[in-house]
Amino acid sequence: MKQSQLFTKTRKTAPKDEMSKNAQLLIRAGFMHKEMAGVYSFLPLGLRVLNNVVNIIRQEMNGIGGQEISLASLQKKETWEKTNRWSDGEVDVWFKTKLKNQTELGLAFTHEEALTVLMTNFVSSHKDLPFSAYQFQTKFRNETRAKSGIMRTREFIMKDLYSFTKTQEEHNIFYEKAKEAYEKIFQKMNIGEKTFVTFASGGTFSKYSHEFQTICDAGEDIIYVSKEKNIAINQEVFTDEVCSDLGVDKKECVEQKSAEVGNIFSLGTKFSDAHSLTFRDAQGKDVPVVMGSYGIGPARVMGVVAELLSDEKGLVWPESISPFHAHLISLKNDEKAQEIYEKLKKKGVETLFDDRDVAPGAKFADADLIGCPWRVVVSDRSLEAGGVEVKNRKKEESEIVSVTDLYEKIGK
């Protein structure tokens, strides 16, 4: 895309009320707009990153057999009363609203209840199981404080997958597959090394749930990392008992600030019991379905990447989720640059072409702030030296590459 046509512009300073680094950078680079505390809109560059994150997650969810759906946000009281999750005393993040006839509705903060009710239409026999369904859908959460940029918001897309299985054993097999898929997802976004499977409270559902916690100063959680076992334990359950249960030496665990980028829950039959989601087993007996739920917030992941992989000049996107693969900059060599732009497009290299009539310094600063992996500069000097000047966003030095070799140099 031509930058002259992009309606967003970068800005030198972040809004004064924005305390988090991820939002400061994303707003300065024109990726997002703040509607109010904890509520952001996605602008063209930001939406491209978000969609890339979504597509990585989608690929892995399809890989484990997930079927994509999209549930409604508006929710009936009755659906949630059965699991005791309607009252604001029990769930303190509800946004509630009303129909014209004064019927109270809620805006879904998660979808276990709604999907369990839905599945009673489709599950009756043991032959209908196992399966899983997932969505990328807007969740609303009435957070009291929202000050971590896009890492904790009041309205956000969540990927939530739900599994439906016949037995605990069958559930465990799927649960492990999901865990592996999650690990792949975070690896693909270059935060795999800093992300730990973290033992957390299983709530009323099971002994433990598993969080995926990424070590990050801007995170709101505290975890204790066992390098030896390559796992972590959430502060809330970091006890002698749990450490011994997991075979971890408590004294060797390192305390870290972290951000929860995903979580997976064994739900047992809590929701299927409440909503009578049962199946007839091979012996003709009605048995409740064993469920699991598996969440990732794509925007939070995007925020964590912005926090961790940025530098003093701006954002530094991994190739897998960058808004564009290459940032092509023309320094008064528009014709040659246009030619290269067309060539890259033809090869399928997503390119942001800075064809604007602004000073070279401003173009370089924007390229650093926006953070695409490859900067390609076309100038008199580069052409005299034999081609274009190519620089990887993570490196200091640049090199001259002939136009012929450009694709080989930067192409995926």
- Measure the CA–CA gap between 389 and 386, rounded to whole angstroms: 9
- Measure the CA–CA gap between 328 and 376, rounded to whole angstroms: 5
Q: For its own copies, what does the binding mask look like between residues 23 and 62, x meaning CB under 8 A?
A: -------x--x-xx--xxxxxx--x--x------------
13 binds its own copies (CB under 8 A): no
> Which region, judged by CB under 8 A, interacts with its own copies, from 18-26, 91-99, 235-243, 344-352?
91-99
In degrees and rounded to multiples of 5, residue 178 shows phi and psi of -65, -40
**Beta strand 351-354 pairing with 326-330:** parallel
Q: How far is the CB of 184 from its own copies (least distance, A)?
A: 22
**Beta strand 131-140 pairing with 67-68:** parallel
- Measure the CA–CA gap between 394 and 311, rounded to whole angstroms: 9
12 binds its own copies (CB under 8 A): no
Residues for the chain: how many in total?
A: 412
> Which region, judged by CB under 8 A, interacts with its own copies, from 132-140, 217-225, 240-248, 373-381?
132-140
Cβ–Cβ < 8 Å for 211, 226: no
271 binds its own copies (CB under 8 A): no
Q: How far is the CB of 13 from its own copies (least distance, A)?
A: 13
204 binds its own copies (CB under 8 A): no
Side chain identity at 13, as an amino acid letter?
Answer: T
71 binds its own copies (CB under 8 A): yes
65 binds its own copies (CB under 8 A): yes
Kindly identify the residues of this chain, within the stretch 139-178, that bind its own copies according to CB under 8 A: 140, 142, 144, 154-155, 164
91 binds its own copies (CB under 8 A): no
Tell which one of 19, 72, 254, 362 touches its own copies (CB under 8 A).
72
Q: How far is the CB of 208 from its own copies (least distance, A)?
A: 28
- Measure the CA–CA gap between 53 and 69, rounded to whole angstroms: 18
6 binds its own copies (CB under 8 A): yes
Kindly identify the residues of this chain, within the stretch 345-364, that bind its own copies according to CB under 8 A: none
Torsional class of 268: left (φ above 0), alpha (ψ -120 to 50), beta (otherwise):
left
Cβ–Cβ < 8 Å for 376, 326: yes
Report helix, strand or coil for 195: strand
Cα 322 to chain center, whole Å? 13
Number of residues counted as binding its own copies (CB under 8 A): 53
Cβ–Cβ < 8 Å for 372, 325: yes
Residues that bind its own copies (CB under 8 A): 5-9, 11, 30, 33, 35-36, 39-44, 47, 50, 65, 67-76, 95-100, 105, 107, 114, 118-119, 121-123, 128, 131, 133, 138, 140, 142, 144, 154-155, 164
